[in-house]
Structures are given as structure tokens and as C-alpha cells.
Amino acid sequence: MQRLWPILLLLCITRVYAQTNTPLRTKEDTSGISSKILLVPFQPMMYFSDADQDLSRFSKMGEPQIRNELRNQLDLNIYHQLLPAFDVVDLLRANSLDGEKDLNRIYACTRYTLYSSKQKKAYMEEKGKEETSRVKAFLEKYSRKSKDQTFWICDSAVMLGMLTEREIFPYLFRKYNHQYILFITQFEIGTSNKNTIEWLKQDYKREYTIHYNLFDKTGDLLRAETLTIKAGPENNVKQIADLYLRVIGARLKEIMIVAEK
């Protein structure tokens, strides 16, 4: 057994080195260890919805439980969509790492403010950064071009989560050794065609929107956009997660892969 210790130690060192130096896996190449993302779900107070009463009635849950379950389902879908391409630490589920304590520390030092495309342009010029052709092509593909579009990405009026504690980024990096922080800053449910007749017939449409910020390990903001998907009148939380939140997670993974290039 004593002879095995040097071999086991060498394997552990090799794995740690690979985790910090191996590039991102893509859909076409899922071998090896990927870049690490620290996933931060939205703060419960950053949930905005006009649908909770109906969701509660049809899902047979109280409204606080509906809000909690949707937060959980969004986080879970993003986590599972990212996982084939990234090494992901989800602070909502990192119990063995005391993730909830770190999550509360992040929320405590976060100041929310709206971030416009004009501010984004000024920020990138200040940092001497320019979006790659791949990113531009991706954003153009999903920019809103018509009212009939079912999914779109927008970079105006994004909720920016500014982490004001000076030591928070170095602290998180020392603990998690990540390359990126993906912070979901806001979640919205909006219902259209909301008049009495259509409401009684459940003949209405909804939109689900998330706001996200992508930071590097030092705290530099890399991306900030909203993702919106048009939906039907579903009032069952599981159906909503399967039909819409899963798609949002998949699109977010695509953004991460393109932005990594």
C-alpha cells in the first residue's frame, strides 16, 4: 500500500493541473476537463411575476413555494445544460463547500442597477475590448427582428449586479479556482392578452426573461444580456421548466461557448 502513495499523489497533482489549464470543451469535443464556472442563481427578491396566482392554483402550491420552485428549476436547468461543456460549481447546491454562506455573502454586497447598451459600449472601449466576429454573429442570429419571434437576446436595460465588497472576487477565486462567474441577476414572468374573457379561457401568452452577468475571475464584466422566450399559457411548474427554462439554459450554454472562443 505504501508503494501506491506516490502514484496516487502524482495522479491528484496531474488532475488539479488539468482543471486549471485545459480549454473549454465544445459540443463536438467533450473530452478532457473544461473551464470552471461559478454559478450564482438570482436573489429571491429579484423575482418579478404577474402569474403566481394562477401558477399556484394549477400547480397546487402556495405562491412562496411557486417562487422558490421556479428559482430552483431555472438554476437546475442552467446547471445541467452547462455541465456537458463546463466544470460547474452551483452555489445553490454546493453544500459540502458551504456554498450557501458564500451565496449570502455575494447577495449582501450586491448593488443592482440597470445597464444599457450605451454603457456596455463605453465600458468595452475603456477596457480596450472588442466583441469577436463569432459573438457578433451569434447575437445577430438571436436579436429580435419580428413580433413572431419565439426567442431573443437583448443587451439594453440589463440588470447589473455590482459586487461592492473589495475582497469578494479574490476570496471566491482562492476557494473555487474558477475562470468565470455566471450571475443570474433577475427573473421575470410577464403575461399578455390579460383581459377577463381570455383569462378565463387561458387564451393568453407569457414571456420568461432572465438577466445574466458574466464576470471573469478578477471581477471584470465580460457579458450582460437578457434572454427572453415566448411561451404558452402553461400553469404547471414542471411543464414550464421542461418547455422553456430548459431552452433558456441551452441558449445560455451556447453564449458561454461562443464567448469563450
Q: Could you read off the pLDDT tens digit of each residue along the chain, which spans 261 residues?
A: 444 444 333 334 333 333 333 333 443 444 444 799 999 999 999 999 999 998 998 889 999 999 999 999 999 999 999 999 999 999 999 998 999 999 999 999 999 999 887 887 787 777 777 788 888 898 899 999 998 899 999 998 999 999 999 999 999 999 999 999 999 999 999 988 656 566 566 667 899 999 999 999 999 999 999 999 999 989 999 999 999 999 999 999 999 999 886
Kindly state whether residue 93 falls inside one of the protein's structural domains: yes
Kindly state whether residue 27 falls inside one of the protein's structural domains: no
Give the predicted TM-score (pTM) of the model: 0.83
Kindly state whether residue 256 falls inside one of the protein's structural domains: yes
Kindly state whether residue 6 falls inside one of the protein's structural domains: no
Kindly state whether residue 17 falls inside one of the protein's structural domains: no
Kindly state whether residue 213 falls inside one of the protein's structural domains: yes
Give me the domain span that covers residue 81.
35-260
Number of domains in the chain: 1
Q: Which H, E and C letters describe the chain, residue by residue? A: CCCHHHHHHHHHHHHHHHHHHCCCCCCCCCCCCCCEEEEECCCHHHEEECCHHHHHHHHCCCHHHHHHHHHHHHHHHHHHHHCCCCEEEECCCCHHHCHHHHHHHHHHCEEEEEECHHHHHHHHHHHCCCCCHHHHHHHHHCCCCCCCCCEEEECCCEEEEEECCCCHHHHHHHHHCCCEEEEEEEEEEEECCCCHHHHHHCCCCEEEEEEEEEEECCCCEEEEEEEEEEECCCCCHHHHHHHHHHHHHHHHHHHHHHHHC
